[in-house]
Amino acid sequence: MLTKIFFAVGALLTQLVHGAAEPPVSSYSVVEVEWSLPVDPNKPNGAREFVTGTIEEAIAQMDAAHPGWSQTFTSNIQTVDPHALMARGSSPESQSVNCHLDSGKGAANCVDIRDGTRYLGSIDSPAPNNSPHSCGRVSCAYNSAIWWCNDNDSVKETTWKNMASSAWFLQDNCLYYERRTEKVSAQEFMKDEWNIYVTGDRC
Ligand SMILES: *[C@@H]1O[C@H](CO)[C@@H](O)[C@H](O)[C@H]1NC(C)=O
C-alpha cells in the first residue's frame, strides 16, 4: 500500500519535473503552445479543437478524445516531402545560424527532430503566435526538442511549416556524430525576429 502511494507520488513528481519545461535560453519566458486541430484529420475544413503542449502531447490528447486520431494523422504525414520543407521562399528569411550550441541540456537526435519536423510540416491550422521574448516548445520526443522563440517586442505569428522548414534545415546542416548517432544542437535566427532552437531536452 505504502509502496503504491510512494510510486504514485514519484510518478506525479516526474510529471511535474517534465511538465515544467525550461527555455533553451534563460532570458526568454516560456509560453504554452496552442494547437487548433481538426477532429477528423481527413477533414481539415471540418470542426476543430484546441489542445496545448508539444505536438506529441497534442496528438496524444486528440487520440484520447477521438480514438484512432493518431493513426489517421500519422498515415497522412508519410506524404510530407522533406525536400518541400527545405524549399523555402523569402519567408522565413534566415539571418544567422549557430551550429553546435551548448544549451546545457545536451544535443537532440536528428532522427527524432526529423519526426517532429514531419509532424509540424503536415499541420495547416491557423498561424501560431508567440508572446514577446518568449519561447514555446513545439515538439519534444526522446529527449529531443524543437523550440520557437520570439525576439521582438510584439506578438509574432508564423506557420508550422516555417518552423518545420527551419528545424529540418538545422538537422541537415548542423548534424554531427556522437559515436554513430546523428546529433544536433543549433539555432537559426530569422530576419523577422524569431528563431528556432533544436536541442536536447527532458521529455
Ligand atoms: C517588432 O516590434 C515592433 C514594436 O512592436 C514593431 O513595430 C515591428 O514591426 C516588429 N518587427 C518585426 C520584424 O516583427
- Dist CA 71 CA 89 (whole Å): 31
pLDDT score for 86 = 64
Nearest CA owner, ligand 1 atom 5:
154
Provide the pLDDT confidence category of residue 102 given band limits of 50, 70 and 90: confident
Our answer on whether the CB atom of 193 is closer than 6 Å to any ligand 1 atom is: yes
Question: Does residue 164 have a pLDDT over 80?
Answer: yes
In the chain, what percentage of residues exceed pLDDT 90?
67
- Ligand 1 centroid to Cα of residue 108, in Å, is 31
Lowest mean pLDDT among 5-19, 20-34, 73-87: 5-19
Encode pLDDT of 189-198 as tens digits. 999 999 999 9
